[in-house]
């Protein structure tokens, strides 16, 4: 059997590929087009642990433009490719979000129409915006606060429309701020660690009391594979959160302890698009996927450092 991972050179995609090669008998076809949202050299190095594996094949494909015939024979397509980042999605950059999140997903879904394979779509907690309740269950009314969140919600809805109209076997996973080794360089923990290492001030947006349900990457990978393998889930959306919320100030305290030195923190204004809090209700993932997060923040942060 063959599975396809789109966005395989990215942070979560590269971990997912490694885990599937290590723990299943599946062949893995990895797809990526090395967009320049961050340094493509980092993405090439993410692939380093995969190329050379006899069960791994890499395809350079831009899903918004190129044919994706290879998905036709796949038992499961893990669709992680996309334009990430909440704060960059305003202004002229929005066109990239429409292209790489919405158009690419629609083209992939067309390619999968009528095929027996299943899709697991990588969505985001950013679809909730400032949620109406915490912890937030999947059926809360989504009200994204950023254009990025709007494109993720739109892509999710496309996936569900293809599921309803063509019987596509579809699952969406809403990741909550994933961190760990190889985390994207624009995300908070990567930026904090890099600044501390260089002896530069850490840039803190707002008062630091905003909270996230930070999720360690191995937990996110585990939930993703369960979503791709659990039988008869129906077309479903699953929250994938780390299980304990922390404020950004909590994170900085733990990071200071791990690094063993006081951190130089510079306060900047709140950034447009950032929500105040995220918090996942994990009941559905627990019941249907038999999944729960295992890695505590201090342990995961130490591994990332």
- Residue 176 binding ligand UGA, by CB under 6 A: yes
- Residue 187 binding ligand UGA, by CB under 6 A: yes
Within 198-217, the residues that bind ligand UGA by CB under 6 A are 203-205, 210, 212
Which of 162, 175, 216, 238 is the binder for ligand UGA (CB under 6 A)?
175
Within 126-145, the residues that bind ligand UGA by CB under 6 A are 126
- Residue 162 binding ligand UGA, by CB under 6 A: no
x/- letters, 231..270, toward ligand UGA (CB under 6 A): -----------------x----------------------
Least spacing, CB of residue 54 vs ligand UGA, in Å: 32
Which of 124, 136, 155, 224 is the binder for ligand UGA (CB under 6 A)?
124
* Catalytic (active site) residue 134: no
DSSP per-residue string spanning the chain: -EEEEETTTSHHHHHHHHHHHHHS--EEEEEE---TTS-HHHHHHHGGGTTT-TTEEEEE--TTTS--GGGGG-SEEEE--S---STT-SGGGHHHHIIIIIIHHHHHHHHHTT-S-EEEEEEEGGGTSS-SSSSBPTTSPP--SSHHHHHHHHHHHHHHHHHHHH--EEEEEEE-SEESTT--TTSHHHHHHHHHHHTPPEEEETTS--EE--EEHHHHHHHHHHHHH-TT--SEEEEE--SS-EEHHHHHHHHHHHHTS---EEEEPPPTT--SB--B--HHIIIII-------HHHHHHHH-
- Residue 80 binding ligand UGA, by CB under 6 A: no
- Residue 84 binding ligand UGA, by CB under 6 A: yes
Which of 155, 177, 224, 304 is the binder for ligand UGA (CB under 6 A)?
177
Residue among 97, 128, 148, 162 flagged as catalytic? 148
Residues belonging to the active site: 148
Which residues here bind ligand UGA, judged by CB under 6 A?
A: 84-86, 124-126, 175-177, 187-188, 191, 203-205, 210, 212, 248, 271, 274
């Amino acid at each position: 059997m063959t599975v396809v991972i789109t966005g395989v050179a990215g942070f979560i995609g590269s971990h997912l590929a490694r885990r599937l090669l290590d723990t299943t008998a599946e062949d893995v076809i990895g797809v990526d087009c090395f967009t320049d949202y961050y340094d493509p050299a980092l993405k090439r190095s993410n692939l380093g642990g995969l190329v050379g594996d006899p069960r791994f094949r890499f395809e350079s494909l831009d899903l918004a433009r190129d044919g994706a015939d290879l998905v036709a024979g796949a038992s499961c397509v893990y669709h992680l490719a996309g334009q990430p980042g909440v704060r960059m999605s305003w202004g002229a950059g929005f066109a990239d979000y429409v292209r790489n999140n919405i158009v690419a997903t629609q083209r992939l879904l067309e390619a999968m129409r009528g095929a027996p394979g299943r899709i697991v779509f990588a969505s985001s907690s950013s679809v909730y915006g400032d949620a109406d309740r915490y912890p937030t269950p999947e059926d809360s009314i989504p009200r994204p606060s950023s254009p990025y969140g709007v494109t993720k919600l739109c892509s999710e809805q496309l996936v569900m429309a293809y599921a309803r109209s063509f019987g596509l076997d579809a699952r969406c996973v809403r990741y909550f701020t994933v961190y760990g080794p190889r985390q994207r360089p624009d995300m908070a923990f990567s930026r904090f660690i890099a600044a501390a290492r260089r002896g530069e001030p850490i840039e803190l947006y707002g008062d630091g009391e905003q909270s996230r349900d930070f999720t360690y990457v191995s937990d996110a990978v585990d939930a993703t594979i369960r979503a791709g393998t659990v039988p008869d889930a129906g077309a479903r959306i699953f929250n994938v959160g780390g299980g304990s919320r922390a404020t950004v100030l909590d994170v900085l305290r733990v990071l200071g302890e791990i690094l063993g030195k006081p951190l130089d923190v510079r306060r900047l204004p709140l950034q447009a698009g950032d929500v105040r809090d995220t918090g996942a209700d994990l009941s559905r993932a627990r019941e249907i996927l038999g999944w729960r997060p295992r890695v505590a923040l201090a342990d995961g942060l130490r591994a990332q450092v």
